[in-house]
Structures are given as structure tokens and as C-alpha cells.
Amino acid sequence: MILILEANTDQESAQYGLLVRYLSSLINITYEVRHIQGANQRLTEIYLLGDTKSLSMEFMRSLPCVQRVVRVQEAYRILGRHGQEDFPHQFEYNKITFDQTSLHVFAGLCAVDTPEHVELMMKALKENGQVCTRMGAYKPRTNPYSFQGHGKDCLPHVFELAGKYGIQIICMEVTHESHIQEIHEALEATGHPTGVMLQIGTRNTQNFELLKCAGRQDDYPVLIKRGFGITLNESLNAAEYLASEGNRRIIFALRGMKTNLGDPHRNFVDFTHVPVVHRLTRMPVCIDPSHSVGSRQKSPDGLMDVMHATAQGVIAGANMILVDFHPNPAKALVDGPQALRLDELPFFLEDIQIARDAYLKRVELVQSRQAST
């Protein structure tokens, strides 16, 4: 059972004191308090664990500070929507708000290579009004002899350049607990010129020890990618590992499934699952069209498959786009063939806006239909 308290409940108040005193007196039931800082308000949720079947919903709702009571199903206990259509969840990081209604673009380098390329990328983002990016420093590679990323050595200049160009969040994959510490130290050393969203890649979706580490820390939000060869349910449970350790700032990313049935795409594009994840959980949903499609191939209409896939995800309500760009794709050390060029950024953003407007119109349409019936 989850008790959702009135927004901005003061934990020093007498009312709150009464509530926790009552919860402490319950036999065979423990509770955990979690806070989520949104753009305008702080939400508090209290998770009751144990023998909660005998608790009456009406009575729990009548307790001081309680606004709402949700009886949870076993699946996705914390992240789940539990059949509640109206179950708000949003978080803010570095002044940017994430929820199931917003949309943010994270265009950037699959892998950091030269400082010049990082700077050209960030300059293009700024010129196009973008404040988020992706930058891979730790690269999980299939072949041990392939470029593995510059690791912690590149972090100071990446963070400083981000600060110079007003980048507020860098999405960066981590493959080991020590990488979180290295990111932390580099941010401290450079005076926090930017923020970092930790990315758990598809190869590590079920690396439970890594998930627990990313879930235990509260400094950075986490983007977890769907596992490429496991069920959606298994990937959502992986996300629940992060939440069960305390972190509530989690975004779930679709990046395609590994099967030859998706050929000639690199992976089988799975963006029809955007609304499914919205329905099952409260997480914002990201799409990664670059790793799904894996090329710059175009259809006869002139649009690249990457752009078609992006539009399909956005028109289905995606909340974040993680996409590979490079100033000179031929020189990229990782995934050059799927990278878009910087001169394509304004075109890409305009195309996204068309799909986004169409999505918002679709929502308006269904809402007006609901209002009239």
C-alpha cells in the first residue's frame, strides 16, 4: 500500500507526527518514506510493507496528511501505476522536469573522441536551443580490442565545455560502480558546470549489482535501457531494482530488440511499447532511434529511417530522445554509420516538432471525446 501525502507536507508538523506515530504502531507492517522533488512541489510517498491486507482504504485515507491511498499489485511495486490513470510522478534535475508528458532531446556523441568534436557538438546544441546531450566516456564494446572510451580522463574537459555552452544534463553510460564515483569527483573538481544522468546500457540491464549502486545514490537520475534479449516485464523489473534501493528519478529507454527479424535495421524497433510502459509504470519513456535503426539509410520520401523511427516514438508520446550525432561521422570512433551530422540537427528538431504537435493533437482529440461522453 502507498500513502500519497498532501504536496509539500511538513515533516516537522504535528499532523505528520501523528501519522508516523500511528504507522509505527501497526503490527507486522513497516514503512518507508520517499520524497520526490518536482518543479513546483515536493511529494512524499509512504510505502507500507508487510501484512497490509487488513488495512481499510477509507480509514487510511482519513489519516492526517494523507491525500490518497493506492493498493499496489506485486508487479513494479514502486514504479507501477497500479491501474491508476491519474497518478502523478515527476522529478526535476538541474531545473529540467521529467514526467510522462514532457519531451526532451538528448542529441550528442555516442563516444567522446576529441575535445574539438565535443566542442563542435555542444556549440551546435546551443545554437539550436538545446540544453541536454549524450556523451559516452565508458563504452561497452563487443570486441575487447575496439576503442573502449576515454573513461575518466575526458570527464573534466567534457564537463567544462558543457558549462561553457549551457548544457544542463549529459546522459552518460556507466558500466561499473567506480564510474559513478569518477563522475562525481570530476564534477566536484570542475565546480559542477553541468549535470549528469547515469545511463545503464542494454548489456547491463540485468547487472543487478550495478543497478543497486545506481539506485542507492541520490545525486543523479538514471536512464535504464531495455535489455535487448529479455521480455519487457524483465526490463521493467530491472528498473524496479533502481527504485527499490531508493532512487525515484528513473527514465526507461526503448532501444530495439536484437533479432534478425528486424533486418536490415540493427535492432527490431519497439517504439509501440511507449504507451505500454506509460500504462504499466509512472516512468517517463525515452526512445533511442540510433541504436534501434543503426544506419543513415533513407526511404524514397527522403527521410532517414532514424527520423521515421523517432517520429513513430514521439507520436506515441515518448518523453525523451537519445540520439547519436557527430561533427564528422566518418571519423567517429564508435557508431559513425548511424550518426546524424550537425547540419542535420535543425532539420531533425523540426521533424520532431511535427510529430510532437501531432501527438498533442491526438491527446486533445481523445480528451474532447471523453468530455462529451
Binding site for ligand PEP (CB under 6 A): 110, 136, 173, 201-202, 225, 255, 288, 291
Quick check: 335 binds Mn ion (CB under 5 A)?
A: yes
Query: Closest distance between ligand PEP and the C-beta of residue 149, in Å?
Result: 10
Query: Closest distance between Mn ion and the C-beta of residue 110, in Å?
Result: 4
Q: If you search the block for the grid coordinates 527522403, which residue do you land on?
A: 302
Query: Closest distance between Mn ion and the C-beta of residue 316, in Å?
Result: 23
Quick check: 60 binds Mn ion (CB under 5 A)?
A: no
Quick check: 182 binds Mn ion (CB under 5 A)?
A: no
Quick check: 45 binds Mn ion (CB under 5 A)?
A: no
- CB nearer to Mn ion: pick between 44 and 199: 199
Burial label for 24, CB within 10 Å (0-12, 13-18, 19+), is exposed
DSSP code per residue over 91-148: EEETTEEESSS--EEEEEBSS---HHHHHHHHHHHHHTT--EEEB-SS---SSTTS--
Burial label for 37, CB within 10 Å (0-12, 13-18, 19+), is middle
Quick check: 288 binds Mn ion (CB under 5 A)?
A: no
DSSP code per residue over 203-227: GGTT-HHHHHHHHH--SS-EEEEPP
* DSSP state, residue 304: B
Cell of 371: 468530455
- CB nearer to ligand PEP: pick between 195 and 294: 294
Quick check: 107 binds Mn ion (CB under 5 A)?
A: no
- CB nearer to ligand PEP: pick between 106 and 359: 106
How far is it, in rounded angstroms, from Cα 311 to Cα 306?
9
Secondary-structure percent of the chain, ordered helix, strand, coil, rounded to 5: 40, 20, 40
Question: CA separation (Å) from 94 to 38, 39, 131?
Answer: 11, 10, 10
Query: Closest distance between ligand PEP and the C-beta of residue 13, in Å?
Result: 45
Cell of 268: 527490431
Quick check: 270 binds Mn ion (CB under 5 A)?
A: no
Region of 11-19, 246-254, 261-269, 329-337 interacting with Mn ion (CB under 5 A): 329-337
Quick check: 158 binds Mn ion (CB under 5 A)?
A: no
The phi and psi torsions of 308 (rounded to 5 degrees) equal: -60, -45
- CB nearer to Mn ion: pick between 282 and 326: 326
Quick check: 339 binds Mn ion (CB under 5 A)?
A: no
Query: Closest distance between Mn ion and the C-beta of residue 58, in Å?
Result: 52
Query: Closest distance between ligand PEP and the C-beta of residue 170, in Å?
Result: 13
Residues 110-129, one symbol each (x = binds Mn ion by CB under 5 A, - = not), give: x-------------------
> With CB cut-offs between 5 and 8 Å by kind, which of Mn ion, ligand PEP, none does residue 329 bind?
none
Query: Closest distance between ligand PEP and the C-beta of residue 287, in Å?
Result: 11
Taking a C-beta distance cutoff of 8 angstroms, is the pair 356, 339 a contact? no
Residues making contact with Mn ion (CB under 5 A): 110, 335
